[in-house]
Amino acid sequence: MAVDRKFIGQASEDRFVDVEAGQLRLFAKATGETNPVYTDEAAAKAAGYPALPAPPTFAFSLGLLAPAEKGSIAEMGVNIGNVLHGEQRFDYHAPIHAGDRVRLKTTTVDIYEKKGGALEFIVQDTTAHNQNDVLCVSARTVIVVRH
């Protein structure tokens, strides 16, 4: 079943994530990050950070910690068993640190097909602002739906 194009332009509700030092340490360990600024508070402060900074690509996990309801693939009627992660891009604008409260908003910007409809692509942009309303990360995700 084709993904309804009515979702193009639809934005999610605001979602919030309180970034915790333990989350950042676990993410750094899981991704093989060895720089101590991501795991040791003293090393982070010595490097000029106010608290542990988020490791590269941690922004991806923010959406997992606070999934959208409005505009989600579930709302679109997509069977998760037919989904592939097609692409991910991050543009970093300001760092995220332990202790930040991050607000996420995701907008579906395009839905298109290839291979005669055998594959559909859902393109979603997510912004992450901190508690001071500073844009920290903008991300683009491309989800591939196999039919």
Nearest-angstrom CA–CA distance, 13 and 115: 33
Q: What is the mean pLDDT of residues 96-110?
A: 98
**pLDDT level of residue 33 (50, 70, 90 thresholds):** very high
CA 10, chain centre distance (Å): 17
**Strands 135-146 and 83-92: what pairing?**
antiparallel
Amino acid (1-letter code) at residue 71: G
- Report whether 135 contacts 125 (CB < 8 A): no
Q: In this structure, what is the dihedral angle of CA atoms 48, 51, 56, 62, given to the nearest 10 degrees?
A: -150
Kindly report the pTM of this predicted structure.
Answer: 0.92
- Report whether 62 contacts 121 (CB < 8 A): no
Fold of the domain built from segment(s) 5-146: Thiol Ester Dehydrase; Chain A (3.10.129)
Q: Is the pLDDT of residue 56 over 90?
A: no
> What φ, ψ does residue 74 adopt, rounded to 5°?
-65, -45
